[in-house]
Structure 1
Amino acid sequence: MATELTKTALAALRAKQAEHQLAPVLTRAITKNGIKATSYDNQAATRLDRTFSIDLPTGKVSNQKHSGRCWEFSLLNTLRHKFATKYHVKDFELSENYLFFWDKIERANIFYRNVEQTARQPISDRLVQFLFDNPGEDGGQWAMAASLVQKYGVVPASAMPETFNTTNTTDFQAVMSRKLRKDGLKLRQLVMNGADEAELQSLEKSMLQEVYRIAVYSFGEPPTTFDLAYRDDDKNYHRTAQLTPQAFYQNYFETDLDDYVVVTNSPDKPLNQLYSLPDEDNVIGGRPIEFLNVDMGVLTDVAVQQLKSGETIWFGNDVLQQMDRKAGYLDAHLYETAKLFGINGHLTKAQRLQTGEGEVSHAMTLTGVDIVADTPTKWKVENSWGSENGDKGYFVMTQDWFDDYVYEVVVHKHFLAPEFQALLKEPARRLPAWDPLH
């Protein structure tokens, strides 16, 4: 049991530290260079050479800039790779702004519904606090992007290009979060006062019109039709006039997003179980956020199978761990910070999730893997941070990092063994909104 730190206790700490012969030189190195630089493994480059036995052809990377839209970028990357292969146009890009616009409208709408449903719970309730914490945020899940594509279709980047407010969403988030919080408080009060459904719907309609106005002024208004024009890699010109976003997706993309499943490794909870996060759904009536939680070996296997089939993969991870952004390295032993201080800092994957150390902080795209003696050793990763990082925007990831910090991959369900496909038909266990997978 901890007690007061007396002068005697503090003197003992100082004396014990003085016993370490390397203490002076380590103090100089760490205070001068910082913890990460001092513990950096320069031999990582040997493990992270950029040769892969499976390396799918992809083009230039996209750039989410100062925004949290990685979940949209990664899904659109997997779609544009298919478009590029089928129509022979390598660097075609889909509009991230288009999906982002509709996410803001849908997310405000579902926020109003959730606030109504929890209006009689105290404002200090953990779920209510979660709803009001940052309602205008950017972050999201694969299923949220899939819901938007299924409802609204997609458009080329040229039909709805990026704006200042999509490339730097800080100000928009602040405005939208403040507005939604104020709207939410008003709705809570009306429910508590016994307002009828008609009154609530009328007010929500007015509130949503204001949200739409803010989004239009910030991002531009989404096109209802557009002309698709592109020149393929053989320099042939193609043009189709007056396409709707939904028709573009239905006619040019063969991906049925309902055939895909989020396969998760979250060892802080029982494996071989389907889970859901309904408090994070963004579209009323859209695709629910669900995860099939399996052993890491199963997750690795289905990811390899999909890459072998020629299809890239959306994956959720904790990119800020053990990363060299400039070099584009992801290696579980890149920084040996614990060894630098002579301590044991190891936490298992489950322990990191249980204590808040682990989280799904980013989404990227797997485009290759190196298989040696039937075992994956490293992976090629398409990021959405522009071409200035890594090798023209592409990162390389060791299998150790994959095991430790990858939590989700999205694969076609036919890659799953029958026993796992059967789990998809069982009722999903509801996770709380603050689960580490959120």
Structure 2
Amino acid sequence: MTENDNDAKAIDAEDVRQYSENYNTGDAARANHVAANAAVKNGVIKAATSYEGTRELTHDFSIELKQGTITDQQRSGRCWMFASLNTLRYELMHRWKLEDFEFSETYLFFWDKFEKSNTYLENVLNTLDEPTDSRTFEAINAYPADDGGWWQMFVNLVNKYGLVPKSAYPESQNSKDSDAFTQYLTTKLHQFTIQLREHHRNGKSIDELRTFKKRYMEDIYRICAIALGEPPAKFDWRARVKDGDDDKSSDDKDTKAAKKNATSNASTKKSEAKAEKSEGEPGIDERKQIVEHDITPLEFYHKYVPVDVNDFVTLCNNPMKNRPFYTHFQLKYSTNVAETGNLDFTNVPIKVLRKAAVDQVKAGHPIWFACDCMQYCLRDGGYFSKNAVRVDELFGTDFSIDKANGLEYSDYPSNHAMTITGVNLDENGEPNRWKIENSWGKSTGTDGYYVADGEWFDQFVTEVIIRKEFLDDKTLKATQADPVVLDPWEALTARCD
């Protein structure tokens, strides 16, 4: 039997003739030609943009959180890291009354690459007898040190390495555009894997193999340090505290703590500074300052970040039949730091996920979330909405797939993480649009912010990170149950990059 001996039927010339005739005749011909003119000239998304849909989806929200300057991951897959740090910087800024603040994303990027490399080699050591074409080994070997990740990977890094402000470890060319760095790091890791498996076939013990691995990691450290620069073990930090007391998110205790940790840089009295201004000299900024010398990243995290990254849980909404709700899942080979546990997710109905998200924003806390950002997205205007991107009208056909089938057939994979910083509630208290802080810079969306309607949120958001205090009893109990362990290709959501 040859490969062509089957029942497949090819398209023939008569089929094509009939399709063309139907396209060019009848009532649909005019609409097809107008749509083609628009799409060929402007591209599908612009041609499908509905002015009515964008008008209805205003950038106004009943609840908004005041965030810092928009961030930009540039040509890297660090969205999950940016979104995570954006949730924490909001808390830091409002606790310590800072006008603006940004953590160093490159600092965690360094340690993520380093730790993923070690975890990958450990996974290789744990699967030495797996065939290279087995599904398990292919899953382990596919992306040994890619940019993508989840919130819990961020938690692992913060717990081990702490955090630093961007001033202490700024961006490098290889953090802003990571392809070449990741490519050669991956090649080196694959080279080490070949060597480890050869040593195993030659009878080396696991202890001997780990000795090799330890030497290999010195090369990995050098590659990371050359590409990104060595991360600081200690650093100095200075920040100015806002004037006034208009930040309602900071209580009296927080304000007193901020003042206690602040020192004044003023060398003159206010009257003298005022006199300098009247004489045309630059005035002295007399706002209080927070000053730190030789502080470690872990000390900085514990001292200045007013939330514990371990007090959050991962809620998913995956309505596939083989992913029952109120079930706690754990994913094999998913961690980025070898000594930590594998990543876990609790699957809940969308109404539960949605309510937890609303409650958290109403309480004044932003939310990390994962979604398929490619679906019905207008990057220029900053819209996520089926009513704004009318591809059904452009092509004259329906594109609806329910969420369960979209996930099962890989049409709605989570591929991007962002931060929710606002919500609009209708007259019944239900969310009809969400304010989203992206990490694509200020040139996209409305100064870097997007708006998603309620339907889009329900269908394309797969994962949110929620503080435990905003979980109902049933959901909290589910997060504490023994997990159902999944193989690496069975993830409820995909890594975000």
**TM-score, normalization: structure 2?**
0.85
- How far does the alpha carbon of each residue in 1:205-227 deviate from its partner, in whole angstroms, 9 at most, with x for none? 11100000001111111111111
Q: How does 1:66-77 map to 2 (within 5 A)?
A: 66-77=75-86
- Does the 8 Å contact 1:153/1:245 carry over to 2? yes
Q: Given residue 148 of structure 1, which amino acid in structure 2 is its aligned partner?
A: L
- Does the 8 Å contact 1:143/1:288 carry over to 2? no
Q: How does 1:264-275 map to 2 (within 5 A)?
A: 264-268=316-320, 269-275=323-329
Deviation at 1:414, TM superposition (A): 1.9
Deviation at 1:283, TM superposition (A): 0.6
Gapped regions of structure 2 (runs ≥ 5): 1-6, 244-286
Distance 1:336 1:227, change over 3 A: same
d(CA) in 1 for partners of 2:103 and 2:78?
A: 14
Distance 1:333 1:432, change over 3 A: farther
Alignment of 1:306 with 2:360, yes or no, is yes
Aligned to 1:259: 311
Q: How does 1:145-184 map to 2 (within 5 A)?
A: 145-184=154-193
Deviation at 1:164, TM superposition (A): 0.7
Aligned to 2:299: 247
2:464 to 401, 409, 412: 409
Deviation at 1:80, TM superposition (A): 0.9
Q: How does 1:128-143 map to 2 (within 5 A)?
A: 128-143=137-152
Q: Given residue 223 of structure 2, which amino acid in structure 1 is its aligned partner?
A: I
Alignment of 1:345 with 2:399, yes or no, is yes
Alignment of 1:13 with 2:19, yes or no, is yes
- Does the 8 Å contact 1:154/1:245 carry over to 2? yes
Deviation at 1:47, TM superposition (A): 2.3
d(CA) in 2 for partners of 1:11 and 1:291?
A: 51
Gapped regions of structure 1 (runs ≥ 5): none
- How far does the alpha carbon of each residue in 1:293-351 deviate from its partner, in whole angstroms, 9 at most, with x for none? 11111001000111111111111111121111111111133222233222222111111
Aligned to 1:95: 104
**Aligned with 1:261: secondary structure?**
strand
Distance 1:221 1:25, change over 3 A: closer
**Aligned with 2:146: secondary structure?**
coil
Deviation at 1:436, TM superposition (A): 5.5
- Does the 8 Å contact 1:47/1:398 carry over to 2? no
Alignment of 1:383 with 2:435, yes or no, is no
- Does the 8 Å contact 1:146/1:287 carry over to 2? no
- Does the 8 Å contact 1:313/1:410 carry over to 2? yes
- Does the 8 Å contact 2:79/2:417 carry over to 1? yes
Alignment of 1:197 with 2:215, yes or no, is no
2:450 to 389, 395, 415: 395
Distance 1:336 1:436, change over 3 A: farther
Distance 1:288 1:255, change over 3 A: farther
Alignment of 1:430 with 2:439, yes or no, is no
Q: Given residue 395 of structure 2, which amino acid in structure 1 is its aligned partner?
A: F
Q: Given residue 437 of structure 1, which amino acid in structure 2 is its aligned partner?
A: T
Aligned to 2:247: none
| Number of corresponding residues | 438
- Does the 8 Å contact 1:292/1:424 carry over to 2? yes
Bigger shift: residues 195-204 or 302-311: 195-204
- How far does the alpha carbon of each residue in 1:1-42 deviate from its partner, in whole angstroms, 9 at most, with x for none? 752434444433333334433244443333333322222111
Deviation at 1:188, TM superposition (A): 1.9
d(CA) in 2 for partners of 1:153 and 1:28?
A: 54
d(CA) in 2 for partners of 1:403 and 1:165?
A: 36
d(CA) in 1 for partners of 2:185 and 2:77?
A: 15
- Does the 8 Å contact 1:264/1:408 carry over to 2? yes
Alignment of 1:83 with 2:92, yes or no, is yes
d(CA) in 1 for partners of 2:340 and 2:396?
A: 51
d(CA) in 1 for partners of 2:63 and 2:354?
A: 14
**Aligned with 2:488: secondary structure?**
coil
Deviation at 1:287, TM superposition (A): 4.9
- How far does the alpha carbon of each residue in 1:263-297 deviate from its partner, in whole angstroms, 9 at most, with x for none? 11111222111112232210112253111111111
Alignment of 1:40 with 2:49, yes or no, is yes
Alignment of 1:104 with 2:113, yes or no, is yes
- Does the 8 Å contact 1:360/1:436 carry over to 2? no
Deviation at 1:364, TM superposition (A): 0.6
d(CA) in 1 for partners of 2:435 and 2:155?
A: 24
Distance 1:24 1:52, change over 3 A: closer
**Aligned with 1:280: secondary structure?**
coil
d(CA) in 2 for partners of 1:415 and 1:191?
A: 49
d(CA) in 1 for partners of 2:81 and 2:229?
A: 18
Distance 1:13 1:46, change over 3 A: closer
Bigger shift: residues 204-213 or 384-393: 384-393
d(CA) in 1 for partners of 2:98 and 2:161?
A: 23
- How far does the alpha carbon of each residue in 1:331-385 deviate from its partner, in whole angstroms, 9 at most, with x for none? 1332222332222221111111111111111111111101112111111111111
- Does the 8 Å contact 2:64/2:421 carry over to 1? yes
Distance 1:328 1:26, change over 3 A: closer
Computing the radius of gyration from Cα coordinates, the structure with the larger value is 2
Alignment of 1:327 with 2:407, yes or no, is no
**TM-score, normalization: structure 1?**
0.96
